[in-house]
Copies of this chain bind each other. A is one copy, B any other.
Amino acid sequence: MKIAISKNILSTNEEYAVSIRNFLKQKNILALNLLSSPGAGKTTLLEKTLEKVKNKLKCTVIEGDLNTSIDKERISNLGINSYQINTGRGCHLNAKMISEAINNLKLDGLDILFIENVGNLVCPASFDLGEDYKIVILSTPEGDEKPLKYPIIFREADVLIINKIDLLPYTSFSMKKLKKNINQINPNLETFYTSCTKGQGIDGWIKWLERKKDSKNA
């Protein structure tokens, strides 16, 4: 009975995700689903990314949060159009929420749709939002063993951003151990190393983003 309910929720989600994916494809919009633990740096990554690309690419952000619009305000301060989803007790965004957000957003001429998920390394991994790529952000103070402990999200990810590398000297995080752990879970995972607060390592990620936008147009 439990499994039947769960399958049903996921298949309804999948229907919404497919229609979102088709819609975004028609409009040539690149869509990215940003996933991490609370406080790993999703919003700061977005801020630094938007500062770099906003004059070249038209971007919009969907912000997921239980209760506040703190992150949306940070995005709005950059002059970027954004949309808040508050989930209440909900631990993840789902495709129906994204579908409603898209209906409320003006997406004509848009290049990139960023979706910042609820801070959670478990539940968001199971919900396809119709995105092109899943981007997981792991911050060094969280520890190098996280890919083993939360394998589903690291397996589902297309890109891994190791953030807060400026804190490396003050933590026990080992880049060597991380690479070994990632290798067990998802050996082909494209990885970037950043300190978003210091603006370090953003350029490689921006190039990846621009390349993916170009191939979406092609």
| A interface residues, Cβ below 8 angstroms from B | 5, 37-39, 65-68, 70, 89-91, 118-123, 125-126, 139, 141-143, 145-146, 148-152, 164, 166-167, 170-172, 197
Contacts and interface: CB of A to CB of B under 8 A. Distances in A.
A164 B166 CA distance: 15
Nearest to A144: B39
Contacts of A123: 91, 120, 122-123
Given A67-B148, A70-B149, 16 more contacts: A5-B5, A37-B38, A37-B142, A38-B149, A67-B150, A70-B148, A90-B122, A91-B122, A91-B123, A120-B120, A120-B123, A123-B123, A139-B141, A141-B167, A167-B170, A172-B197
B67 A149 contact: yes
A38 B146 contact: yes
Contacts of A121: 38, 119-120
Contacts of A70: 145, 148-149
A153 to B, nearest CB: 10
Nearest to A87: B122
Contacts of A145: 68, 70
Q: How many copies of this chain sit in the oligomeric assembly? A: 2
Interface centre among A65, A67, A91, A151 (most CB of B within 10 A): A91
A interface, by DSSP: helix, strand, loop or mixed? loop
Given A89-B126, A120-B122, A150-B66, A39 B164 contact: no
Contact of A122 (B66, B164, B172): B66
A142 B38 contact: yes
A146 B66 CA distance: 11
A143 B39 contact: yes
B142 A39 contact: yes
A70 to B, nearest CB: 6
A174 to B, nearest CB: 14
Interface centre among A91, A121, A122, A167 (most CB of B within 10 A): A122
